Chain A
């Protein structure tokens, strides 16, 4: 599970945004806004974490069940896939 680009995450006007480092100047479509949990998962993927370690960190951060956490992470990864932001490496996104 790898993003197609490397991103910087920053808060702008109280909103968390991710900006592709090498697309900044030429492609403002490289700007993504994220909510808090999306930013949490996105930043982990951006750091190169795999699904299981993201799930583990997510459970440490939020007071929810493993099933709920797995669904949240899996749904977000699916969103990134649909937005064509992930490289297709064949890795399953959900392991329970």
Chain B
């Protein structure tokens, strides 16, 4: 199967059919692949954490392997719900179950069709001339929200559940560990060093926020008001 994501030609030597269904919006034709991916039985088994079907685990293993190849192309996988509103591209980061999809849904309720979801769960970020671009990919969470598009990332927001709504800019020293926990860091020293350099460059281009939020739409009213008023 051949797909094109994040401006890269990727050939996947897949075993199961799930990947073809997952990637149908990104199917492409090309002669020369930038990345060729094939996963082993062991790599599929390593993704098996909750009795998922094997071809579902294969898809996870394939994306991990694509991620391992990305440093060579100035890229990495970010675990974030990512959307565009006018000239802003906002990535919502949180530990699973915190409610980043819910919070993105509240932005959609507020701004309707002015919100374009780029990737609901795991965009690829690639840097061009040191500017980070977020890309839609087939790996976008169970809601399947992604668009085969890209846009320069402008805001990184760490979401935390709270009794009250608040959005504040974060200081550098508060960012590192939280961000690294949401980046797929590949194995190997060269890959790690490159990925960390890319993260530093990304942070140089983005505002970083902490959004403390309730589960209702008032959270997006507050966060959008605070984030969008800062240019």
Contacts and interface: CB of A to CB of B under 8 A. Distances in A.
Interface of A: 8, 10-15, 17, 19, 21-26, 28, 31, 33
B164 interface: no
B179 A22 contact: no
Which 4 residue pairs across A and B have the least CB separation, nearest first?
A15-B176, A24-B185, A14-B172, A13-B175
Nearest to B186: A25
Contacts of A21: 187-189, 192
Name B's interface SS.
helix
A15 B181 CA distance: 14
Interface stretch (B51-59, B82-90, B196-204): B196-204
B180 A28 contact: yes
B interface, size bucket: 20 to 34
B46 interface: yes
Contacts of A25: 64, 67-68, 184-187
A41 to B, nearest CB: 19
Interface of B: 46, 64, 67-68, 172-173, 175-177, 179-181, 183-189, 191-193, 195-196, 199-200, 203
A22 B70 CA distance: 17
24 contacts: A8-B189, A10-B193, A12-B199, A13-B172, A13-B173, A13-B179, A14-B176, A15-B172, A15-B176, A17-B176, A17-B177, A19-B192, A21-B188, A21-B189, A22-B187, A24-B185, A24-B187, A24-B188, A24-B192, A25-B68, A25-B187, A26-B46, A28-B185, A33-B176
B130 to A, nearest CB: 16
A8 B192 CA distance: 8
Nearest to B208: A13
B65 to A, nearest CB: 9
Contacts of A10: 192-193, 196
A12 B180 CA distance: 9
Nearest to B191: A24
Nearest to B181: A28
A4 B173 CA distance: 27
B31 to A, nearest CB: 30
Contacts of B191: 24
Nearest to A30: B185
Contacts of A33: 176-177
